[in-house]
Amino acid sequence: MTTTGAGPTGQQPLKVALLGHGAIGSVLADRLTAGAVDGARLIGIIARPDVAGSGTPCPGSTRPESTLPGTPRPGATEPGPPHPDTSPEPETTQFGETPRGTPTATAPGGVPVLDLAEGIAAADVVVECASVAAARELGPEVIAAGRTLLVASIGALADAATAAALTAGPGRLVLTTGAVGGLDALAAHRQAGGLRDVLIISTKRASTLLQPWMDDAERTALERATTPVTVFEGTAVDVIDRFPRSANVAVAVGLAVGDPRAVTVRMVADPAATRTVHRISGASDAGAFRAAVENDPSPRNPASSALVPYAMLSALAALARPSGRFA
């Protein structure tokens, strides 16, 4: 059994810094502060520069996917042009009621608020749970500093240059299983000669699939539709720019099978959906793969799944205490 190389060995706790304190990060902060992961300790939350007090708006921040109430649009099978969402995020502030631009020393629970350089210096593991843009723009700095980076925004790896930077070392990149499972079996099928006909169908509440790039007609149609509607069909690489908050799972499946371009993604808006459902299928010379995961929406962010922070805690547990068992 080897250690992770991510942090200290022996009795030293794994020092964890969070990059992102929203739906996922706030659960991670609460659970880590409560001692939920044996051998891991939360040492700080890395704030957006505008919150930490540098006065520089963070280039990695993104506007969240809309959460307006609504239903899907009929016949909406032609997506609009790619629209990478790199605008400042106006709706969400970190650390509860802390207003954007207010220097903050601690988050709720007394957790220190750090800037990126401080977080990298102090942590063994930086946990990204911010945005695809933040993972793309800030993740390489963590890796270059030799730290372990645990990533939620896996969609960032759909970009080849980002994937190269995040895997260049000396730090180690760890991907959460996030909102799905079975990625290990998909990777095994890949070893067995590669998967064919890989398809992921993600069905979500229509309201969580509204996008800033949609025009009024598309938005209205989506809001008024009464039956499930396919809003996107294409490769895992193509989907992430259009649905940056909803396609991390598709890119994760693409990475597991070895080629995000070989994965067909169908994004379905369902006005009756109470859960987010991901159905994944494919076949190889070793057999076939078929799985379905049903996730409750995060109570804090309905575009996010309630399961994800717990997947990340599981990954941290494995890093903190390599044990030869599922964490």
Ligand X SMILES: NC(=O)c1ccc[n+]([C@@H]2O[C@H](COP(=O)([O-])OP(=O)(O)OC[C@H]3O[C@@H](n4cnc5c(N)ncnc54)[C@H](O)[C@@H]3O)[C@@H](O)[C@H]2O)c1
Catalytic residue ranges: 278
The least CB distance from residue 34 to ligand X, in Å, is: 18
**Residue 95 CA: distances (Å) to CA of 15, 18, 45, 112:** 20, 12, 9, 11
Q: Of 36, 60, 34, 35, nearest to 46 (Cα)? A: 60
Question: Per CB under 6 A, which region of 46-54, 211-219, 220-228, 266-274 contacts ligand X?
Answer: 46-54
Complex with ligand X: residue 130 or 143, whichever CB lies closer: 130
In the shown chain, the binding pattern of residues 182 to 221 toward ligand X, with x for contact by CB under 6 A and - for none, equals ----------------------------------------
Does position 267 bind ligand X by CB under 6 A?
no
Among 271, 304, 306, 317, binds ligand X (CB under 6 A): 304
Count, residues near ligand X per rule CB under 6 A: 38
Does position 129 bind ligand X by CB under 6 A?
yes
The least CB distance from residue 18 to ligand X, in Å, is: 9
Closest residue to ligand X using C-beta atoms: 22
Does position 254 bind ligand X by CB under 6 A?
no
Does position 58 bind ligand X by CB under 6 A?
yes
Contact 232, 208 (CB under 8 A): no
Among 70, 171, 178, 302, binds ligand X (CB under 6 A): 178
Q: Alpha-carbon distance 21 to 301, whole Å?
A: 12
Among 31, 48, 63, 205, binds ligand X (CB under 6 A): 48
**Residue 115 CA: distances (Å) to CA of 86, 153, 233, 264:** 20, 20, 39, 38
The least CB distance from residue 283 to ligand X, in Å, is: 24
Does the N-terminal peptide bond of residue 271 adopt cis geometry, omega within 30 degrees of 0?
A: no
Contact 70, 207 (CB under 8 A): yes
How many Cα neighbours within 13 Å face the side chain of 264?
10
Sites for ligand X among residues 150-169 (CB under 6 A): 152-154
What's the sign of the alpha-carbon dihedral 189, 192, 195, 196? negative
**Residue 237 CA: distances (Å) to CA of 62, 243, 244:** 18, 11, 11
Contact 34, 309 (CB under 8 A): no
Q: Alpha-carbon distance 27 to 74, whole Å?
A: 36
In the shown chain, the binding pattern of residues 6 to 35 toward ligand X, with x for contact by CB under 6 A and - for none, equals -------------xxxxxxx----------
Whether 301 has a binding-site annotation, put simply, is: no
The least CB distance from residue 3 to ligand X, in Å, is: 25
- For tokens 């030869």, the residue is 324
Complex with ligand X: residue 221 or 303, whichever CB lies closer: 303
Three-state DSSP at 9 gives coil
The binding site consists of 179, 248
Binding residues for ligand X, rule: CB under 6 A, are 19-25, 46-48, 58, 60-61, 64, 89, 92, 94, 129-132, 134, 138, 152-154, 176, 178-179, 245, 248-249, 252, 298, 301, 304-305, 308
The binding site for NAD(+) consists of 179, 248
